[in-house]
């Protein structure tokens, strides 16, 4: 058995390119102690990984140059030094971008039986939990309120839109293509989907879509779309900062419209969060998401790229919005 891994070749300046990554042939590791050897089936590529390619303090340590990239993945247990897992089990966890990797059994979970294992990377995994806790715990949408979601057709956005509809809110999503907007409107029941690339003045577009103002804003993108939201927020509005993909590739400090005066006159709250801070409530979140999913109230959406060697390209594609829903690489 031959192994292969993808390393950070150099810290990218701007949008990562194929030269940011380096392939290397390596050995298949042997599971030690409580470890499990896993053959990767699906690798999740996520925008937040861009932050780890930077040599800068963030909520998670940076990748080192020459080191393997790590992200969520689903794989099949090949060999187990832990009684918790048997060969053939399909598990999810954090792994290197490798064909084979070992992980501590305590950090792995069996995927939900009877559903596509890729859901463990999307609606029933960290992505779904991010949407669930960010929207419900911070956004606190109430029936009849207006929820705006940026990056609405992205992995997290798609789940946020659907949960907001389940909470009987008016939901307005922004996305970067007419196809994505059609999908949001027709398949997910989003009330208004706005293509920010063609909408012209975003404040006007949002004002038309949100006649009662914006009570909750779930922000995946930052930048101009988020600026257009500010003049429309209502008293007591909640602005959830989940991602800022529009600026992840910039090395300049983010300059633009500042939210403070809008927060002040509306007694509004803006809060950043990382899903891991809800770790002790993951069980509750997965249980609710699984119930919605298996009862057909919550749809999973994914874009699958084939082949381990295409992992870098799948990651790079996130920044030009190639994905609808969760971007996944099938090994």
Give contact residues for a copy of itself (rule: CB under 8 A).
51, 57-59, 219, 222, 226, 235, 241-244, 247, 253-274, 277
58: nearest Cα among 276, 313, 282: 276
Smallest distance from a copy of itself to CB 209, Å: 19
Smallest distance from a copy of itself to CB 191, Å: 24
For the chain, give the longest Cα–Cα distance: 63
Smallest distance from a copy of itself to CB 91, Å: 28
DSSP string, 118-166: GGGTTTTSHHHHHHHHIIIIII---TT-EEEETTTTBHHHHHHHHHHHH
User: Which of residues 138 and 205 has its CB atom nearest to a copy of itself in the complex?
Assistant: 138
User: Which of residues 102 and 230 has its CB atom nearest to a copy of itself in the complex?
Assistant: 230
User: Which of residues 23 and 273 has its CB atom nearest to a copy of itself in the complex?
Assistant: 273
Q: Is 1 exposed, middle or buried (0-12, 13-18, 19+ CB in 10 A)?
A: exposed
User: Which of residues 122 and 222 has its CB atom nearest to a copy of itself in the complex?
Assistant: 222
Smallest distance from a copy of itself to CB 34, Å: 29
Smallest distance from a copy of itself to CB 222, Å: 5
User: Which of residues 102 and 268 has its CB atom nearest to a copy of itself in the complex?
Assistant: 268
Give the length of the chain: 331
Report d(CA 35, CA 80) in Å as an integer: 6
Write the CA distances from 304 to 41, 42, 312, 328, integer angstroms.
Answer: 12, 9, 13, 5
């Amino acid at each position: 058995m031959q192994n292969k891994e993808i390393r950070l070749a150099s810290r990218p300046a701007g949008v990562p390119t194929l030269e940011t990554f380096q392939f290397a042939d390596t050995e298949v590791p042997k599971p030690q102690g409580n470890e499990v050897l896993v053959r990767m089936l699906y690798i999740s590529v996520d925008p937040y990984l861009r932050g780890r390619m930077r040599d800068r303090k963030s909520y998670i340590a940076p990748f080192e140059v020459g080191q393997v990239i790590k992200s969520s993945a689903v794989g099949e247990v090949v060999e187990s030094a832990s009684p918790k897992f048997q060969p053939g089990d399909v598990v999810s966890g954090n792994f290197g971008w490798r064909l084979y990797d070992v992980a501590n059994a305590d950090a792995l979970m069996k995927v939900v039986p009877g559903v596509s294992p890729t859901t463990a990377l999307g609606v029933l995994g960290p992505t779904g939990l991010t949407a669930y806790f960010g929207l419900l715990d911070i956004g606190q949408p109430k029936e009849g309120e207006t929820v705006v979601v940026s990056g609405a057709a992205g992995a997290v956005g798609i789940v946020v839109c659907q949960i907001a509809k389940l909470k009987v809110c008016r939901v307005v999503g922004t996305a970067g293509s007419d196809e994505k907007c059609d999908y949001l409107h027709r398949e997910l029941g989003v009330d208004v989907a706005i293509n920010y690339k063609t909408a012209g003045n975003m404040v006007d577009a949002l004002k038309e879509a949100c006649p009662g103002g914006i009570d909750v804003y779930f922000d995946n993108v930052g930048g101009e779309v988020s600026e257009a939201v500010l003049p429309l927020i209502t008293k007591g509005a909640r602005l959830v900062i989940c991602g800022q993909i529009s600026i992840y590739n910039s090395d300049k400090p983010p300059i633009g419209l500042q939210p403070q005066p809008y927060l002040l006159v509306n007694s509004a709250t803006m809060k950043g969060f990382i899903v891991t801070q809800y770790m002790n409530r993951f069980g509750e979140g997965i249980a609710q998401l699984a119930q919605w999913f298996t009862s057909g109230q919550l749809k999973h959406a994914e874009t699958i790229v084939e082949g381990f060697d295409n992992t870098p390209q799948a990651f790079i594609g996130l920044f030009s919005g190639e994905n609808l829903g969760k971007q996944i690489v099938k090994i």
